[in-house]
Amino acid sequence: MTERLILDCDPGHDDALAMILAAGDPRVELLAVTTCAGNQTIEKVTRNALAVCAIAGIDVPVAAGAAGPMVRPQMVAPDIHGESGLDGPVLPEPTRELDPRHAIDLIIDLVMSNDPGTITLVPTGPLTNIALAMGKEPRIVERVKRVVLMGGAYTRGNRTPAAEFNIIADPEAAQAVFGASWPVTMVGLDLTHQATADADVVARIAEIDSPLSRFVVDVLRFFGSTYLARQGFPAPPVHDLCCVAKLCDAEVFTTREAFVAVELTGTWTTGMTVTDFGDLLGRPHNTDVAIQLDKPRLWDMTVDAIATLSARSAVRS
Ligand code: RIB
Ligand code: CA
């Protein structure tokens, strides 16, 4: 059955790959892209989302959302994503107008106008839009099929030793999402650090030899340079891609049930996704936590999606 998704993102190099897989894999239907401030400001990430739509030929509504976290000062990540939020490639001019709705209204409209249990939310940035949408229309919680989010970690963070960026960027929003009754899959750093775009993968993408494949190679080249310089990774972990891959092929990674809560008041641990795989806290397990990646499966589908979109674009031109 085709999985139908709304991608809420902050492009972002890895968000861009998630958009491309969502548009290019026939097993999923991308209904809309919504943007939230995260890697960069809302203006920059929204412009980047429109640029990815242009180069990949993605023809779905794109709506801009939250310009910052619900209650805390905004954080951005130029150290990894650059000043534009998508440094590296030349960004094409947008070829479509933004949807006039706020992102949360687009999310609410789509979820409320489709049958219950038919739409998966895939947030790959801070969870501000998702928390605001469920606050404005609480009924979406029972209608959404699942939330598959990139964020958190059950071991170590990447913005602090305890906290991953998407969570600490808006911990109140994250706690609201984990605390709601909908099914949640947490795709944290423990999984996404396995999803590195190694040299052989980049070579396979380059061999497609299309404007889109060259764009993706430039995206990965810049992303790889900052991940090597800042975090010592020999190849960049393409975090957000893993969320969409799970909808394309559930076998792409394993999960384990756990109770997950977000620390809001820790002196050193604010934004930590406290993960209890057992019963230490006596809380019911509310989250499926991503554990082990099938890396070849991830990259096979991603290369195929880039080739599919490249061929589709060649036919159009
Ligand atoms: O910590 C990694 C996450 O933060 C990814 O989603 C990346 O795009 C940034 O948003
Ligand atoms: Ca992201």
Q: Which residue has the tokens 């609480």?
A: 138
Q: Is 285 a catalytic residue?
A: no
pLDDT, residue 317, reads 75
pLDDT, residue 231, reads 96
Give the distance, in angstroms, between the CA of residue 136 and the centroid of all CA atoms in the same chain: 22
d(CA 64, CA 85): 15
Q: Model confidence at 293, in pLDDT bands (50, 70, 90)?
A: very high
* Ligand whose nearest atom lies closest to the CA of 167: 1
* Ligand whose nearest atom lies closest to the CA of 166: 1
Q: Is the pLDDT of residue 20 over 80?
A: yes
DSSP string for residues in 190-253: HHHTT-B--HHHHHHHHHH-SHHHHHHHHHHHHHHHHHHHHH--SS-B-TTHHHHHHHH-GGGE
pLDDT tens, position by position, 128-173: 999 999 999 999 999 999 999 999 999 999 999 999 999 999 999 9
pLDDT tens, position by position, 32-47: 999 999 999 999 999 9
Q: Model confidence at 15, in pLDDT bands (50, 70, 90)?
A: very high
User: CB under 6 Å to ligand 1: residues?
Assistant: 10, 12, 14-15, 38-39, 124-125, 150, 158, 164-166, 239-240
Question: Which whole number is the average pLDDT over 203-223?
Answer: 98
pLDDT, residue 307, reads 98
pLDDT, residue 21, reads 98
Give me the phi and psi of 75, to 5 degrees please: -120, 145
| Alpha helical stretches, state H, the chain | 13-24, 42-56, 78-81, 103-113, 128-136, 140-143, 165-168, 171-179, 189-192, 199-208, 211-231, 241-248, 295-316
Amino acid in the structure at residue 106: L
CA 150 / ligand 1 centre spacing (Å): 7
pLDDT, residue 269, reads 98
Residue whose CA is closest, atom 1 of ligand 1? 165
What is the side-by-side order of every strand in the sheet holding 62-64? 62-64, 28-35, 3-9, 120-123, 146-150, 184-187, 287-293, 253-262, 273-276
The domain locations on the chain are 3-316
d(CA 115, CA 230): 45
Give the three-class secondary structure for 317. coil
Q: Is the pLDDT of residue 92 over 90?
A: yes
CA 249 / ligand 1 centre spacing (Å): 22
Q: Which CATH code, of 2.160.20.60, 2.102.10.10, 3.90.245.10, 1.20.210.10, is assigned to 3-316?
A: 3.90.245.10
Choose which residue among 9, 15, 187 to substitute to test ligand 1 binding: the one with the highest number of ligand atoms within 8 A of its C-beta. 15
Q: Model confidence at 315, in pLDDT bands (50, 70, 90)?
A: confident
Token pair in block for residue 264: 């809001």
Q: Which residue has the tokens 């559930």?
A: 250
Amino acid in the structure at residue 216: V
Choose which residue among 86, 87, 165, 244 to substitute to test ligand 1 binding: the one with the highest number of ligand atoms within 8 A of its C-beta. 165
Spot the catalytic one: 102, 193, 239, 285: 239
pLDDT, residue 1, reads 81
| Helical pair 13-24 and 42-56, crossing angle rounded to 10 deg | 40
Question: Which whole number is the average pLDDT over 76-90?
Answer: 95
Q: Is the pLDDT of residue 127 over 90?
A: yes
pLDDT tens, position by position, 230-286: 999 999 999 999 999 999 999 999 999 999 999 999 999 999 999 999 999 999 999
Token pair in block for residue 313: 């674009």
Burial of 296 (0-12, 13-18, 19+ CB in 10 A): exposed
Name 279's Cβ contacts closer than 8 Å, sequence gap at least 6.
none
Provide, rounded to the nearest whole percent, the portion of the chain with pLDDT above 70: 100
CA 80 / ligand 1 centre spacing (Å): 9
**Whose CA is closest to 173, among 3, 36, 27?**
36
CA 240 / ligand 1 centre spacing (Å): 7
Give me the phi and psi of 251, to 5 degrees please: -80, 0
Q: Is the pLDDT of residue 314 over 90?
A: no
CA 15 / ligand 2 centre spacing (Å): 5
In DSSP terms, which residues pair with 63 in a beta bridge? 34
Choose which residue among 148, 150, 233 to substitute to test ligand 1 binding: the one with the highest number of ligand atoms within 8 A of its C-beta. 150
Q: Model confidence at 316, in pLDDT bands (50, 70, 90)?
A: confident
d(CA 256, CA 167): 20
Q: Is the pLDDT of residue 183 over 80?
A: yes
pLDDT, residue 273, reads 98
